[in-house]
Amino acid sequence: MIYDMTNGSPLKMILSFSVPMLIGNIFQQIYNFVDAAVVGKFVGAESLAAVGATSTMMTLAICFMMGMTNGAGIIISQCFGKRSFGELKKTVTSLIYIVIILSVLTSAAGIILARPVLRILNTPERIIDESVKYIRIIFTFMTGTAAYNASGAALRSLGDSRTPLYALIISALLNVALDLLFVVFFKMGVAGAAAATVIAQIISAVFCISHIIRYRKQLNLDGLPRRADKRTVIKIFRTGLPAALESCLIALGTMSVQRLVNSFGPMTIAAYTASTRIDSIAIMPVISIGMSLSVFAGQNMGAGNIDRIKKGLYHTLFALIGICATLAAVIVIFRTRLLGMFLDINVAARAIEVGGRYLTIVCTAYIVAAIMRTYLNVLRGAGDVNTSAVSGITELIARIIFAYILVRPFGSTGIWMATPLAWAAGAVVPVVRYYSGKWKEKRLV
């Protein structure tokens, strides 16, 4: 089903379009969730720490790839809103070439730099070998992740959020089965968890690409050009690089935080790994509704419906505030039980205590994240992509400053406090930019 978001109730369109993306994003997080749960329960807390120590390095690579594909998605959504299908096809072909080249380069860099980067991050010596083994398997097959992100972004920008969902449901279930097979039955440890993840990701990419090929006429993607268009490639980079830079800067900020976390030892790393897995799923409504709002803004920007974009923003923001308040209450109340899915309370009570503090501090600040993401996604969908980079730089600087200042008096709790403070700093940029009105002049097509 393809959504034309230029007509109908804005909030209804945004929420209905976001539901498949929400479910899909949750299933995507199940990859990491299951890896952590299976490794933590069946291999041990130190092996869980080994997997967790790689998370920021993986996030950096994936965020860059997602930034580029989402940048192309903005152009695709505006082409769809304007009904400029010739330009749409050029964008998809150019995106294919970009993703192939970037995924190969990213894989090579990740394999070569795995150990040096993990050492820079203060990864403890007794877990670094397992961390390197895990991350190198992931990076070897980065093409599968890149292909899913590209095909999924194209489909969502055209108004099809269900096909990426179906792909993720299939691959997530496969990932669970393979995790249990490789880690529990074959005793492959962290290598088994990594192998399960990459196989599942490749399946999700194949599913989406097969759907695009099969329904290319309905998607207005029949007769794609064989070669990339130089001007379109430049436009994708101009649009995607700020978003990629924003994501990478946030990831770099997380890496600096990871370095601090690693200095507290394996139990704190395990606590951070488990709690961030819970956090990554809990915040999915904010991310998914924000992505839907970006597509909504893109299609309506292409159609010239500025007033409709404004209406969609305010309706979405009020809905997210209620959702975030509810989520925070549930997580804080059940934080110990949630962490118990990853860690044995009899042998890792300290890790559960530390993780509980993380969830209490971060989850109660989801409303701040919702404000930042709502305004940022409207600007991004409208084509005002440079604001993403500025916001990312602001958030990065704030995260590092607050983490390194607060860690002295508060220990690891000070690191957790830096996250909501960084969100607040990052929110200032898109809010000010939106009310300046300059984003209205940034249409890409």
Q: pLDDT by residue (tens digit) across 167-200?
A: 888 888 898 899 889 988 888 888 888 899 899 9
Nearest to 228 by CA among 237, 218, 215: 237
Task: Provide the pLDDT for residue 381.
Answer: 83
Q: pLDDT by residue (tens digit) across 365-395?
A: 999 999 999 999 899 888 887 887 788 788 8
Q: What single-letter amino acid sits at 11?
A: L
Q: Give residue 2's pLDDT band: very low, low, confident or very high (50, 70, 90).
A: low
Can you read off the two tokens belonging to residue 347? 């042998």
3-state SS, residue 205: helix
> Mean pLDDT score of the chain, rounded to an integer?
84
CB atoms within 10 A of CB 367: 20
Q: Give residue 206's pLDDT band: very low, low, confident or very high (50, 70, 90).
A: very high
Q: pLDDT by residue (tens digit) across 409-423?
A: 998 899 999 999 999
Share of the chain above pLDDT 90, in %: 21
DSSP character string of 308-362: HHHHHHHHHHHHHHHHHHHHHHHHHHTHHHHHTTTS-TTT-HHHHHHHHHHHHHH
Residue 316 has pLDDT above 70, yes or no: yes
- Contacts of 317-324 spanning 24+ positions with Cβ under 8 A: 317/370, 317/371, 317/374, 319/11, 319/15, 319/289, 320/285, 320/286, 320/289, 320/367, 320/370, 320/374, 321/367, 321/370, 323/285, 323/286, 323/289, 323/370, 324/285, 324/286, 324/366, 324/367, 324/369, 324/370
Buried b vs exposed e over 230-243: b needs ≥16 C-beta within 10 Å? eebbebbbebbbbb
Q: Give residue 431's pLDDT band: very low, low, confident or very high (50, 70, 90).
A: very high
Can you read off the two tokens belonging to residue 214? 């099969």
Name the burial class of residue 29, with classes exposed (0-12), middle (13-18) and buried (19+) by CB atoms within 10 angstroms of its CB.
buried
C-alpha angle 89-95-293 in degrees, rounded to nearest 5: 85
